[in-house]
């Protein structure tokens, strides 16, 4: 018998159809799932997961359940759960605590249920479960064999924990796998962020001035897709001189937010930092400016400043809140400043999550196989697993590549050849 709290179990069949669609587009993970189901290598393992409860996550959870694990899952954002998928997950045998539109208290209550299951392995997206275990469930944390972390923000939080000497179990930063961040963060977020902006607003990007805050892998993907959709100007704001220079050489305008604020039509934050768009910027924005966030937490557009500048607000369409400022200008905040791609759309497409979640699956197998032998620190994904994911993805796409000849291999190892 599984335990659960979801919106409506009656949505399970609808959710299963969505999951079936994702499975069709996640061939690498499906291959591992079949192998895992035959070998049952994760039998006896309790997994606690905090992930966006989407059709892609369901494919991962099914793979873990089929491999023998007892899975407990909560959502990693109050607005990202797909209720029909959550219901389907219960039917697949997972313990699920997630629904769309959780309050802050409900969100943490759900994560608590996962922490209290006493997981051997922890999968997290944003580190809320890791942090809760370290703060409030110290005994449970000391029994954890290892964990994984899906996203840049979560890895930063875990590195801070490690630097303070407080980390209690080894964590694999799945986010740092090449086959994760080069694809999921860049192409996944690039496309799904616009999917969210467009589903929420139905505006035309062609002819618009799009401002992208942050030129990490996520910002790069968003800037690239803004250009592809025909934005008249794509402006990047940065604090890191190397990234700023890269944005310039990639062909984007770079300027401080205080300048960009005056000219942007659509603002998208992707920095992982706090108060990136704040009072001084909001005061300069044009009437009609649209504000969206693609970073993990809803702190990049500083909503208290928006609220204090506004004389009124109203919901104008699903995921679009209109703030009328004292001087009459109207600014539009999408999805409460939460991850727009997951709140207003469905998150990254399955094809890219195929790689991210195959990395997760392999990292979990690795942690379980090597339990008690891995030093307590934040590790990168073992490189052989990263290469395996790329190799399998290419294989499923029917793409073959060259191999080094013996002579080339020798040449690469040698220091004595010159011209």
CB of 50 to ligand ADE, least distance (A): 11
CB of 131 to ligand ADE, least distance (A): 19
CB of 150 to ligand ADE, least distance (A): 7
Q: How many residues in total does the chain contain? A: 419
Angle at 138 between CA 107 and CA 52, to 5 degrees: 30
Cβ closest to ligand ADE, residue 224 vs residue 353: 353
Residue 313 CB partners (closer than 8 Å, separation 6+): 307, 321, 322, 323, 324
Distance CA 391, CA 362 (A): 14
The helix or strand, by DSSP H or E, that contains position 226, with its residue range, turns out to be: helix 217-228
Distance CA 370, CA 373 (A): 6
End-to-end, the C-alpha distance of the chain in Å comes to 70
CB of 112 to ligand ADE, least distance (A): 21
**Taking CB under 6 A as the rule, does residue 338 contact ligand ADE?**
no
**Taking CB under 6 A as the rule, does residue 353 contact ligand ADE?**
yes
Evaluated on CA atoms 120, 378, 58, 20, the torsion sign reads negative
Distance CA 40, CA 15 (A): 25
Distance CA 356, CA 376 (A): 23
CB of 169 to ligand ADE, least distance (A): 23
Cβ closest to ligand ADE, residue 26 vs residue 310: 26
| Measured CA distances, 283 to 280, 286, 309, 327 (Å) | 5, 9, 8, 10
Which three-class secondary structure state does DSSP give residue 35? helix
CB of 147 to ligand ADE, least distance (A): 17
Is the CB of residue 121 less than 8 Å from the CB of residue 140?
no
Q: Which stretch binds ligand ADE (CB under 6 A): 83-91, 221-229, 342-350, 409-417?
A: 342-350
Cβ closest to ligand ADE, residue 36 vs residue 188: 188
Is the CB of residue 49 less than 8 Å from the CB of residue 128?
no
Stretch 122-161: interaction string toward ligand ADE, x if CB under 6 A: ----------------------------------------
CB of 192 to ligand ADE, least distance (A): 6
Cβ closest to ligand ADE, residue 140 vs residue 360: 360
Cβ closest to ligand ADE, residue 186 vs residue 348: 348
CB of 346 to ligand ADE, least distance (A): 6
Q: Which stretch binds ligand ADE (CB under 6 A): 40-48, 172-180, 300-308, 345-353?
A: 345-353
Q: Which stretch binds ligand ADE (CB under 6 A): 230-238, 239-247, 347-355, 377-385?
A: 347-355
Q: What does 318-362 look like in DSSP terms, one character per residue?
A: TTEEEEEETTS-EEEEEGGGSBHHHHSS--S-HHHHHHHHHHHHH
Evaluated on CA atoms 302, 265, 318, 327, the torsion sign reads positive
From 18, 134, 281, 348, residue interacting with ligand ADE (rule: CB under 6 A): 348
Neighbours of 412 (CB within 10 A): 9
**Taking CB under 6 A as the rule, does residue 190 contact ligand ADE?**
no
CB of 279 to ligand ADE, least distance (A): 30
Cβ closest to ligand ADE, residue 271 vs residue 350: 350
CB of 180 to ligand ADE, least distance (A): 11
Cβ closest to ligand ADE, residue 46 vs residue 356: 356
Q: Which residue is nearest to ligand ADE (CB)?
A: 347
Stretch 45-84: interaction string toward ligand ADE, x if CB under 6 A: ------xx-x-xx---------------------------
Distance CA 83, CA 271 (A): 29
Applying CB under 6 A, what is the total number of residues that bind ligand ADE?
Answer: 9
Residues that bind ligand ADE (CB under 6 A): 51-52, 54, 56-57, 342, 347-348, 353
């Amino acid at each position: 018998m599984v335990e659960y709290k979801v919106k409506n179990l009656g949505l399970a069949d609808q959710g299963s159809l969505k999951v079936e669609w994702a499975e069709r587009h996640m061939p690498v993970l499906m291959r591992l799932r079949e192998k895992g189901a035959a070998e049952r290598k994760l039998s006896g393992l309790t997994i606690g997961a905090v992930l966006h409860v989407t059709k892609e996550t369901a494919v991962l959870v099914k793979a873990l359940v089929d491999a023998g694990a007892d899975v407990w899952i909560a959502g990693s954002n109050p607005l990202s759960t797909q209720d029909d998928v959550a219901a389907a997950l219960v039917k697949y045998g997972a313990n699920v605590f997630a629904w769309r539109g959780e309050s802050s208290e409900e969100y943490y209550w759900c994560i608590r249920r996962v922490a209290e299951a006493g997981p051997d392995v922890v999968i997290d997206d944003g580190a809320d479960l890791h942090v809760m275990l370290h703060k409030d469930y110290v005994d449970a944390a000391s029994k954890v064999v290892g964990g994984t972390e899906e996203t840049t923000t979560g890895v930063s939080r875990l590195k801070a924990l490690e630097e303070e000497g407080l980390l209690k179990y080894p964590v694999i930063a799945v986010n740092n796998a090449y086959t994760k961040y080069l694809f999921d963060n860049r192409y996944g977020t690039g496309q799904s962020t616009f999917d969210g902006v467009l589903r929420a607003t139905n505006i035309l990007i062609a002819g618009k001035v799009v401002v992208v805050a942050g030129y990490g892998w996520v910002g790069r993907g968003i800037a690239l897709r803004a250009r592809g959709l025909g934005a008249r100007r794509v402006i990047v704001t940065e604090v890191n001189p190397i990234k700023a220079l890269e944005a310039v050489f990639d062909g984007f305008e770079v300027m401080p937010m205080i300048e960009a604020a005056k000219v942007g039509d659509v603002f998208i934050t992707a920095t992982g930092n706090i108060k990136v768009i704040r009072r001084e910027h909001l005061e300069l924005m044009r009437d009609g400016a649209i504000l969206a966030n693609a970073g993990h937490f809803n702190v990049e557009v500083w909503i208290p400043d928006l609220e204090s500048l506004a004389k009124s607000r109203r919901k104008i369409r699903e995921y679009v809140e209109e703030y009328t400022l004292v001087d009459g200008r109207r600014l539009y905040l999408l999805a409460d400043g939460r991850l727009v791609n997951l709140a207003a759309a469905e998150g990254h497409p399955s094809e890219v999550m195929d790689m991210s979640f195959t990395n997760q699956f392999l990292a979990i197998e690795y942690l379980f196989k090597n339990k008690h032998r891995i030093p307590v620190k934040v590790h990168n994904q073992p490189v052989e697993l990263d290469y395996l994911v790329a190799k399998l993805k290419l294989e499923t796409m029917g793409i073959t590549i060259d191999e080094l000849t013996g002579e080339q291999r020798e040449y690469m190892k040698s220091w004595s050849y010159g011209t």
